[in-house]
A and B are shown apart, each in its own frame.
Chain A
Amino acid sequence: MGRGACTTFASDMANADWVMIEGSNMAECHPIAFRWVMQAKLNGAKLIHVDPRFTRTSAMADIHAPLRSGSDIAFLGGLINYVIQNERYFKDYVVNYTNAPLIVSDDFKDTEELEGIFSGLIDNSDPAQPKAYNTASWGFKRTGSPPNAAPATSGPPYDDLIKSLVPAPANRDNTLQDPRCVFQIVKRHYARYTPEMVERVTGVPRDLFLKIAQTIADNSGPERTGVIAYAVGWTQHTYGPQMISTAALLQLLLGNIGRPGGGVMALRGHATIQGSTDVPTLYHSIHGYMNHPDTRKSHATLKDFITTEAGAVATAYWSNYPKFIVSYMKSMYGKNATKDNDFGYDWHPKITGDLSHMPMFVRMADGQVKGLMAMGQNPAVGGQNARLQRKALAKLEWLVVKDNFLTETAAFWYNSPEVKNGELKPADIQTEVFFFPSAQVAEGEGSFTNTQRLVQWHERAIDPPGDARTDTWWTVNLGNRLKKLYADSNDPKDAGIKSLLWDFMPDKPPSNTKIADEPDVLKILKEINGYETDTGKLLAGFAALRDDGGTTCASWIYSGVYPAEDQNRAANRKPDPDFKPGTHLNWGYSWPANRRIMYNRASAKPDGTPWSERKKYMFWNADKKAWDGPDVIDFAATKPPDDKAKPGGTGFDAMDGTGAFIMRPNGLAMLYVPTGFVDGPLPTHYEPLESPVHNALYPKQDNSPVAKYWKRDDNQLAPIGDPRYPHVLTTYRLTEHHLSGVMSRWLPWLAELQPELFTEISPELAKQIGVNNTDMVKISTPRGAIVAKALVTARLRPMTIDGKTVHHVGLPWHFGYQGVVTGAVTNDLTALVGDPNVSIHEGKAFVCNVEKAS
C-alpha cells in the first residue's frame, strides 16, 4: 500500500465483521494476535480460513476452504471477479479513493490479450539472462503537457526539481465506463476467474467458494468491514508480493482499507522483522523505504538519485524525498557531508546487482564471498537448499556467528550432515570460525518494531552472563576498532569510513549495567529520530526535516519516536483505560507519526463525515477546522475534505481533500500498479516453479515469466507434472517452536512439546505408500532427501486439481542438528528460486516424493 507495512493493528481486528485468514496459520503462529480474531468471532464476525491443511486456525473457523498451496491468486482473483460481476464493490470509495477511473496508456496490453504475459516483456533468448519487463507501456494516458519547467539550479533547495517531475494529470472517467480505464481493465483481467475456474485451479469446491464470496460481500460496505490476514504463506512464492497485491485490490474494491475492522493484516514472524525492514539491514534499501543507490539506475549524483527515485511520486508525500535523503546523508557523514560534496553521496556505496540472501550464498558456494557475519540468523537450517548453503560456509575465509545458543551455522564444520557423511572433513575446512554468545532480550535495552509498526522499548533487567554481550555492544565496539584502524589512512577509498559519524559510546558511566563499554542506545535512537544539525535538538517529527543539511535524521519514518531528551515514546506505557477508544496512542510509538491505522482519511466519506455511525473513526471537524477522531489523521491535519489539488502542485498540494492514500500519486490507492512491480501491474495466476499441474488459466504461460532461478547442478528443479515428484510439499512452523529452533529447541519446556520432526500426510496418501502413523518416511526433491516420522491425519486431504488427484505433504522446518531435540533439516529440500521483485524464495509450494524409509 505504499509504505512497506501493515495498514492496521491486531486489536482492531476485534472490530471486523469478517476475518479471512489466508497464507497464515494465525492461531498457531500468532496466537496472541489471534485472540482479537476470537473476540471478533464472539461478537458475531464470520471467520474464514483458506489453507491447504486443517490447522488449529481452521479448528476455530466458521468456514475452512482447503486450497492448493500456491493457487491463492486464482482464489482471490475469483473473489475480485465475483465482487465486480455482481456489482458488490463499494462504488463511492472506489471512485474517490482509488485509481479506478484513470485511463491506461494505449500501449498497454494485458495478459488476457497476450496469453499470460503483459506488454513489454524483453525476451533476449539467452537462457542465462533472465527475462524482464520494460514497464513503459504500463503507465497512464496523459494528454496534457507536464505543468512545470525544468529547474534553473540543481539544489538544495530541491523544490523546483521535484516540481519539474510532476507529470501531466492522467486522463480519467469517473463513470468507470471507458474501456481503457483501470476499473474496466481489472474487470476484464479477472473475468475468467469464475467459480468453476477457481475450483479447477485451487481445488476449493465452487459452492464453498461462493459461500465465502457472499459472506465477505454481504459484510462489507459503509456499515460493515472485514480484514484479511496473511503471513509467509503468501510471501514465499515466486509471485508472493503479487499475492498480497491481490488482497489489497480486493479490499480496496470492498472499501475496507483505512477503516476500523478493515485492512490487510501482515503477520510477521520475528520480534523486529518490521524494524529490520524499516531500519534496513537489507541490501536493496536505505532507511525509510528509500532505494539503495544503484549502478544499474541513473544514480550517478545525488540530483540524479532524487530525480530517478522521486520522479514517479512527486505528487505523493514522497515529494519530500530530498529532505529524507539529505538528512540521511547527514546521519552517515555528519559535518563531513556538505552541500559542496553532495552531502558525501560519492562516498556512499552503490549496489551493482541482486545481493540478497540466495544469490549471495550462490556466490559463496563459488568462493567469491570471503567473510560472513551471521548474527541472530541460522542459514544452515533456515536457508533454502540448506545443504548447498552449509557447504558454501566451508568456502569462507572467516565466519562470525553471534547468537543465543550454539547454532547449526556455528557448528557446521563439525556436526553437519555433510561432515557426518564424509562429504566435508573438518581438517580440510579452512574457515576461521568465531562464536560470540549473545545477551538475551532482558539483558539489554532497545526497541523492537512489531508487525503493526509499533515501536516498543525493552528495559535492561540484568547484565548478560560471562562474555555474552548485546548485539549493539558488538557492532559499536567493532566499529570503534575499525575507525581506529582507518584513522591514519590517506587512501581515497577510505575517505567514507574516515568521514563516517560514529559516536555511540556513553558520555558518562552507564547506570544500568556494569559493562563499562556498553553503548548509549539513546544516542543511536537520537540519530534514528533526527536532530537539528547545529544545536543537536531532537526533532519532533519528519515535518521538521530540511533538504539543506540543517537536519540530521537517519530514518524519516521513525522521526518523532524520540522528540525530546526525556521522551522516549517507544517506552510509553499508558494503555487506554478500559480499552476506550482502544487506539492506545500512549502505548509505544507507531510509525509514521504514531498513526495506528494507515490511510485513515478513508474511514470518512469524501465530504469528511463518517461512512456510518457503526464504523465511525476519523472525520472532519468543521468547528476545529481539522481532522478529528481517536487516531492520528494520516493526512494533512487541516486540509479540508473539499480542498482541490493545485495545478502543478507537489505532495499534498497535488491532492484533493479526498486524496486519502497520501503515499501514492495524487493520493489515489492503486488497483492497477503502473510502477513499483517488475512482474506486472495486475496480479495474475501463475503456477509455482515446481507444480504438479499446468496453468489452467494461461496454458501458454505456466510460471511467472520473470521469476528468478539460480540454475546449478546442486539446485535442480522438477519439470511441471514430473511423475517422480507427484505431491505438493508445503513447509511451516508450529506454535511450540520458533523458526530454525535456536530459541526453542534449546529450551526443555518447549522441546518436549514437539520433540521430533514429522510430516503430515493424509490417510489416503499413507495407504497409497503403505505407511502407518509414526513410521519413518523419506521425503525427496531434486535437491535432496530427508527422513521424518509420518503423522497420518485426516486434517490433510487429497484435492482434485484440474481433474487430477493431488496430495499435499506438510513439513515443519524447525529442526536441525544442534539443541536439546534435533531432527532433519527440512530446507535441504527447498530450492533457490525467487520472486523477481524482492527475491523471496518459494518455500510454500514445491513438489516432492514420499515413501516408506528403508
Chain B
Amino acid sequence: MTAMGFYTDTTVCIGCKACQVACKEWNQLPATNGGKATLTGNSYDNTVRLSGENWRHVRFIEQFDSQHNGRWLMMSDVCKHCSQAGCLEVCPTGAIVRTEFETVVIQQDVCNGCRDCIAACPFGVIDINPASNTAQKCTLCYDRISNGLAPACAQACPTASIKFGSIDSLRQMANARVQQLQAQGEKRAYLYGADESMLGGLNSFYLLVDKPEVYGLPSNPQLPSRNLVGGSLFTALAGIGVGLAALFSFRNRGAHKEAQEVADA
C-alpha cells in the first residue's frame, strides 16, 4: 500500500489562499459567519487557524528588523495525516480511519462530536464544524484521489507550493529542493515531518526556513497515549468501505447550511 500525501514547499508560497477557497469549494464548506469577519491585524491572515470550517489555513509571518530588512514567510497549513495519529487512536466511535492511502479521514456518519480527537491532535488541526456538529478536518480529498484527481488545494496552488503525490516521491523531491536551497545559500532550509522520527512520519510534511514554532508548529509533537493501537487497525479496515458515503452525507449538510448563512447575511 503506497502512502500518498502533501509536501508543502513554503519557500514558494505566495500566500494567495487559493488552497483555502478551493478546499471550501470542493468540500462545500461555509464561510464563517456568512463571510462577515473582523480584520485581525495579524498581517494578511483573517481566518486565524485551522478549524471545522477551514481545513486549510495560510499563515503569514513578517520578519523585519528596524532597518526594514527581512522576509515575509507564508505557509499553507493542513492536517498532517500522521502515520501515528493521536486523533485516530483516541476516537471512541471508530469514526476516524486510516485509508488505503495511509491518510486519516473522519467518517461523518460515525462521528458523534465528542471532541476527544480535538484534544488529541498535537497540531490543533481538528475542530467541530457548527454546520454538522461533527469533528472535521482535511480528508486529503479522499473522493478525488480515489478517482485519480489531485486534491483540490494542490490542483489550485498557483506556484506548486502544495505538491501531492506518493510520499516516497515527495520525499525525494523535497530532499533535492533542500539541497538546492542550501547550495543557493539558504542554509536555514530543512524538512519538517518528512521522516519517521516525527510521529512515524507526517503524510503532509513541510519545507521550512525557520524554527517550527515560527510557523505555529510544535517542534516535538507527541501522541496523547500509546495504549490504543488496536483500535487503529480496526478502523483502517472500516474506512475503505464507508469513507466515501460518509463524505457525501456531510457535504450535503454543509452545503445546505452554507446557503442558509449566505441568505442570512
Are chains A and B touching directly in their complex (CB below 8 angstroms)? yes
B-chain residues with CB within 8 Å of residue A753 when the two chains form the complex: 17, 20-21, 46-47
Instruction: Report if A56-B64 is in contact (Cβ < 8 Å); known contacts: A38-B159, A749-B31, A820-B35.
Output: no
Residues of A within 8 A of B (CB-CB), count = 41
Q: Is A793 an interface residue (CB 8 A)?
A: yes
Chain A residue nearest to B11 (CB atoms) is A60
CB-based contact A751/B35 at 8 Å: yes
* Choice from B24, B37, B43, B68 contacting A751 with Cβ under 8 Å: B37
In this complex, the interface size class of chain B, counting residues with CB under 8 Å from chain A, is: 35 or more
CB-based contact A56/B15 at 8 Å: yes
Please, how many angstroms separate the alpha-carbon atoms of A734 and B14 in the complex? 12
* Choice from B15, B21, B37 contacting A821 with Cβ under 8 Å: B37
| Chain A residues proximal to chain B, CB less than 8 Å | 27-28, 31-32, 34-35, 38, 42, 54, 56-60, 66, 734-736, 747-756, 758, 762, 773-774, 789, 791-795, 797, 820-821
Closest 8 CB pairs of A and B: A748-B35, A751-B35, A748-B31, A794-B64, A774-B41, A755-B37, A756-B39, A59-B72
A56-B44, A748-B35, A749-B21 given; 7 more Cβ-contact pairs under 8 Å: A66-B68, A748-B34, A748-B265, A750-B21, A752-B36, A773-B41, A774-B39
Q: Is B71 an interface residue (CB 8 A)?
A: yes
Please, how many angstroms separate the alpha-carbon atoms of A57 and B12 in the complex? 11
CB-based contact A54/B72 at 8 Å: yes
Return 27 A-B CB contacts under 8 Å, by A number. A34-B159, A35-B159, A42-B12, A54-B72, A56-B16, A56-B44, A59-B72, A59-B74, A736-B17, A747-B35, A748-B262, A749-B21, A749-B35, A750-B35, A752-B37, A752-B46, A753-B17, A753-B20, A753-B47, A754-B44, A756-B38, A756-B39, A774-B39, A791-B41, A794-B64, A797-B68, A820-B36
B-chain residues with CB within 8 Å of residue A734 when the two chains form the complex: 44
Chain A residue nearest to B262 (CB atoms) is A748
Chain B residue nearest to A793 (CB atoms) is B62
B155 to chain A, nearest CB (A): 12
B-chain residues with CB within 8 Å of residue A791 when the two chains form the complex: 39, 41
CB-based contact B72/A752 at 8 Å: no
Chain A residue nearest to B58 (CB atoms) is A753
CB-based contact A31/B18 at 8 Å: yes
A-chain residues with CB within 8 Å of residue B47 when the two chains form the complex: 752-753
Q: Is B70 an interface residue (CB 8 A)?
A: yes
Chain B residue nearest to A798 (CB atoms) is B68
Please, how many angstroms separate the alpha-carbon atoms of A252 and B33 in the complex? 53
Chain B residue nearest to A66 (CB atoms) is B68
* Choice from A735, A789, A794 contacting B16 with Cβ under 8 Å: A735
A34 to chain B, nearest CB (A): 7
Please, how many angstroms separate the alpha-carbon atoms of A791 and B158 in the complex? 26
CB-based contact B158/A789 at 8 Å: no
Q: Is B32 an interface residue (CB 8 A)?
A: yes
CB-based contact B35/A56 at 8 Å: no
CB-based contact B68/A752 at 8 Å: no
Q: Is B30 an interface residue (CB 8 A)?
A: yes
A286 to chain B, nearest CB (A): 37
B-chain residues with CB within 8 Å of residue A66 when the two chains form the complex: 68
CB-based contact B30/A748 at 8 Å: yes
Chain A residue nearest to B70 (CB atoms) is A794
Q: Which of A27, A753, A758 has the most CB of B within 10 A?
A: A753
Q: Is B261 an interface residue (CB 8 A)?
A: yes
B252 to chain A, nearest CB (A): 18
A-chain residues with CB within 8 Å of residue B72 when the two chains form the complex: 54, 56, 58-59, 795
CB-based contact A758/B39 at 8 Å: yes
* Choice from B16, B20, B40 contacting A27 with Cβ under 8 Å: B16
Please, how many angstroms separate the alpha-carbon atoms of A762 and B73 in the complex? 18
Instruction: Report if A789-B37 is in contact (Cβ < 8 Å); known contacts: A54-B72, A56-B74, A754-B46.
Output: no
In the complex, per-residue mask of B241-263: 1 if CB is within 8 Å of any chain A CB, else 0: 00000000000000000100110
Please, how many angstroms separate the alpha-carbon atoms of A736 and B35 in the complex? 12
Please, how many angstroms separate the alpha-carbon atoms of A749 and B16 in the complex? 13
Please, how many angstroms separate the alpha-carbon atoms of A44 and B39 in the complex? 38
Q: Is B196 an interface residue (CB 8 A)?
A: no
B62 to chain A, nearest CB (A): 6
Instruction: Report if A31-B158 is in contact (Cβ < 8 Å); known contacts: A735-B16, A753-B47.
Output: yes
A-chain residues with CB within 8 Å of residue B158 when the two chains form the complex: 31-32, 34-35
Chain B residue nearest to A822 (CB atoms) is B36
Please, how many angstroms separate the alpha-carbon atoms of A522 and B234 in the complex? 60
B63 to chain A, nearest CB (A): 9
Please, how many angstroms separate the alpha-carbon atoms of A431 and B34 in the complex? 33
Q: Is B168 an interface residue (CB 8 A)?
A: no
In the complex, per-residue mask of B17-31: 1 if CB is within 8 Å of any chain A CB, else 0: 110110011000011
A-chain residues with CB within 8 Å of residue B31 when the two chains form the complex: 748-749, 751-752
